[in-house]
Each structure stands twice: as structure tokens, then as C-alpha cells.
Amino acid sequence: MGERRLMPPRLIGRVGLVILALALLQVTASLVFYRVIDRHTARADHARRAAELLVVSHRLELVGKERVSRLMTTRHLAVSVDQTPLVPRPGSAVEEIRQEILRWEPELAARRLHLDSERTGGREHLVGSMQLADRKWLNFRSANLSARWPIAVKAATITLLLTLVCLMAVLYTLRLMGAPLRRLAEATERIGEGARVSFSETGPRDVRNLSRAFNQMQERLARMVTDQASAFEAISHDLRTPLSRIKVAADFVEAEDIRTMIADSSDEMEAMLSSLQRFLRAQHVTGEAAPIALPELAAALRERWGEELTVETPRATIVTYREPLEMALDPLIENALQYGGRATLSFRHDADGWLAELHDSGPGIPDPHLADVLTPFFRLDEARARNTAGFGLGIPTAHRLLLRFGGALEFENRKEGGLVARIRLPTTAAVFHER
């Protein structure tokens, strides 16, 4: 789980992380590579500098040893002629430089030449001693044997800048390439909510093929759902005719109990067909978002449901789908009034948009079944007895309608008793009117 938290959630982020890791690896390798080159270059430079010094100093012996130190000392090279050597014994750490000096000036092979490294002030210097013909020693110090990575730092900086530019270009390209995938994901989510989406077939060939397959799948699903709804509409229409005949024939039955049973069963069957029709039509309901004044909506709900429903709302206008919203509220209010006798519907605004909460004082729903009631035909009475109204389709119909238009529905038991239904309104905008 820890590794998953560290990984970016989006595909582009993960690809970018891999590219960044490769870029850091490249910079590190470049730094090591240029460090080796820098060290080799510095040692070769010191070897050449020391070789020239030793040869020139050897040839200046006849001119005057006292002038050697003054003539050969520079900003990077300190020279002196002393009775004792600055380096009593050769150091093994600079043997490569000694060999380089001898390659530059083979005639120095006959001389006693002691070389070593010396570290002062955080820097490494080349120090050496060469015995002259009069047995005195030419001592020298060549500064900055390892010159704090000047070449490596410059090269690594250039490499890092180029890598960052390339990384930004790659991430921008990935973003452009990933745009069709993002649109496809959004379209898939909208289809899951019941909307019809026309997805453009753009981008690379693989993405175009995926988009084409997506559109074809959507067409097949839409055709299947439409055929299913049409078939049920036809069956429902055909069933209503014999139901009507049965209800008419029931009037001619002399036994009152049988006549009542036939009439009640016919009414129940007709109500079930109507409930099924509403549930299936919820998948095909269309509408345009329009401004709705919440006080006006509250007045319409009070008029429809009477004094048993209390509606509390701020003075605001929201942009939503009125007909689907009212179709979703109807079965929820009906259930609340049926099981609680009275209900309160309140509208409020939060960080995620507009929320409606429907409170009742009924028996509530057992916590394990709070999500089950969204499933079609689910009823809390295990025997599905018909002594309670409903077919287990009212709440699923409301849930389907809200999802289709971008809303949501959930239930929670109240601590003081009863049930609260939280309806996330499918709004697109809101304008407050304070009065």
C-alpha cells in the first residue's frame, strides 16, 4: 500500500516519474564521467607543468640557482631550492603523474624525483622534489591537483538544464497524447451515469481504434437498452388489455371475496407494471438544465404532498434538471411519508454543490441494508409480503435518475430515530438572491 501511495495516480504522472528517474540517472552518470575526465585532465596538466619546470630548472642550474625560484614561481606553482627535499620519499598515490612526467621528458628518468600529494584547506596539491647536480633539492608545489570539479560541475549543469528542457517537452507531449484518454475516461463515466456521449476519434492510431471501439460499444449498449425498453413497453401494453378484461369480468363474479381478490390482484399487477415502466424510463429521460427558484420548487412540493411535508429552503436559484429532479424526489417523499407519517425536506449549499436532506421519523433501515435499498426489487420484508405498499423500485428509480444527471443518493439512520436521505442535486450553477 505504501508503494501505491508514492506512485502518481495518473498515467502521465507515472511515465513522467520514470523519465525523471532516467534523467537523474543520466545526470549522475554524466557527473561521474566528467569527474573522471576532470581528474585525468588535471593530473595531465600538473604532469606537464612539473615536467616543464624540472627540465627548465635543470637547464638553469648553470645560470644561477638563486634565480630559479624567482623565475619559475607563478600563481599556480611555488618553487624553491633547498638543502633538503620537501618530499623525502615518493608517494604511491601520484605514481601515474610521475610516469606522465617521464613520458613528457624522458631525460628526467636519470634524476632522483620524489612526488607526493598534499591536502591543505580542503584542496589537494602536487608536491615534489628533484635533486640537482650539486646535490641540492628543487622543491615545488603545484596547486589544485583536484580542482573541485570545475569541468564536471559545468558539464553536469549543462546536462541537467538540457534534461529539464527535454523532460518538460516530453511531459507536454505526453499530456497532448493523453488528452484523448482523459476525454475517453470522462465519457465512460458519463455513460455509466446513463448519458449518451459522442466521442471524437482523434489522436494516435491506437487511441483512435480505442475510441472507435468505445463508440461501437456505446451504440450496442444503447441499442440493447432501447430494445429491452421497447420490448417491455410492448409487453406492458399487451398485459394491460387482459388486465382490464379481468377487472371487468370480476364485476360479474357473485362471490364478493373472490371478486375483491381478483380486483385487488389486478390493481397490484397494474401498479407493478407502472412501477417497472417508471424504472425503465428513468434510463432514457432527457432534459435541459434551466434556472429554478428553490422557493418556487418548495411551493410546488408542498402543494403536491400537503401539510405532511415541511420544506425548508434558502432564497436561491439553481440551474438543474427540474423534471428528473421532481421524478426522483417523488418516490423518496412517498416512502418517507408512508413510514414516518411526516417528513422534512431541507435544501442547503456546501463545498460540493447543492444538497437536499429528507428527514423522517420512521423505523429507519438496518445499517447493513443502507446500500441494498438502491438495488431494484430489494425489500426489507424478507417474504416480500404484499401487505406493505411498493415493489422495491421507487428508491432505485430515484437513484438511477440522479446518477443519470450527475447527482447522487445515500441514506443514513438518524441518532434520534428515523432516516435521512441525502440527495446531491444535479446542478450546473447557482445564483443566490438575498432578501
Whether residue 337 has pLDDT greater than 70: yes
What is the 8-class DSSP label of residue 138? E
- Cα separation values, 419 from 53, 190, 344, 364, 395, Å: 98, 30, 11, 5, 14
For 57, the grid coordinates are 630548472
pLDDT at 386 over 50: no
Q: Report helix, strand and coil shares of the chain as percent, to nearest 5.
A: 55, 15, 25
What the block records as the C-alpha cell of 222 is 444503447
- Alpha-carbon distance of 356 to 334, in angstroms, equals 15
The pLDDT confidence band at residue 252, using thresholds 50, 70 and 90, is confident
pLDDT of residue 426: 85
Instruction: Decide which of 229 and 418 is more confident.
Output: 418
More confident residue, 168 or 12: 168
| CATH class entry, domain 285-432 | alpha beta
Are the CB atoms for 196 and 45 separated by under 8 Å? no
Domain-wise residue ranges, the chain: 2-152, 228-271, 285-432
Rounded CA separation 433/365 (Å): 37
For the segment 156-178, what is each residue's pLDDT rounded down to a tens digit? 677 777 777 877 887 787 777 77
Tell me, what's the pLDDT at 392?
Answer: 78
Question: Which pLDDT score, from 0 to 100, does residue 388 have?
Answer: 47
Q: Which residue has the higher pLDDT, 136 or 60?
A: 136
Task: Point out the least confidently predicted range of 18-22, 84-88, 299-303, 321-325.
Answer: 18-22
pLDDT at residue number 65: 59
Residue 224 has pLDDT above 90, yes or no: no
The alpha helices in 193-255, defined as continuous H runs, are 205-250
Interval 279-295 mean pLDDT: 82
SS3 (DSSP) at 132: coil
Contact call for residues 56 and 48 (beta carbons, < 8 A): no
Sheet-wide strand order for 137-142: 77-82, 137-142, 123-131, 113-120
- Which single residue is written with the C-alpha cell 411526516? 342
Given a contact cutoff of 8 angstroms between Cβ atoms, the answer to whether 142 and 76 are in contact is yes
The answer to whether the pTM exceeds 0.85 is no
pLDDT at 122 over 70: no
Query: What local confidence, expressed as pLDDT, does residue 6 receive?
Result: 60
Q: Provide the edge-to-edge strand list for the sheet that holds 290-293.
A: 290-293, 316-320, 429-432
Residue 245 has pLDDT above 70, yes or no: yes
Which residue is listed with cell 463515466?
189
Instruction: Find all residues with CB under 8 Å of 113, minimum gap 6, and list them.
Output: 54, 90, 98, 101, 128, 129, 130
Query: 359 or 39: whose pLDDT is higher?
Result: 359
Instruction: Report d(CA 358, CA 329) in Å as an integer.
Output: 9
Task: Indicate if the pLDDT at residue 435 is higher than 50.
Answer: no
Integer Cα distance of 413 and 419 in angstroms: 5
Nearest residue to 273 (alpha-carbon basis) of 246, 243, 247: 243
| Mean pLDDT of the chain, nearest integer | 77
Beta bridge partners of 412: 420
Q: Decide if pLDDT at 351 tops 80.
A: yes
pLDDT class of 88 with cuts at 50, 70, 90 = confident
- Cβ atoms of 250 and 266 closer than 8 Å: yes
pLDDT tens-digit series, residues 292-325: 999 999 999 999 999 999 999 999 899 988 888 9
Contacts made by residues 25-34, CB under 8 angstroms, sequence distance 24+: 26/159, 26/163, 27/156, 27/159, 27/160, 27/163, 30/155, 30/156, 30/159, 31/152, 31/155, 31/156, 34/149, 34/151, 34/152, 34/155, 34/156
Q: What is the C-alpha separation between 241 and 255, in angstroms, rounded?
A: 24
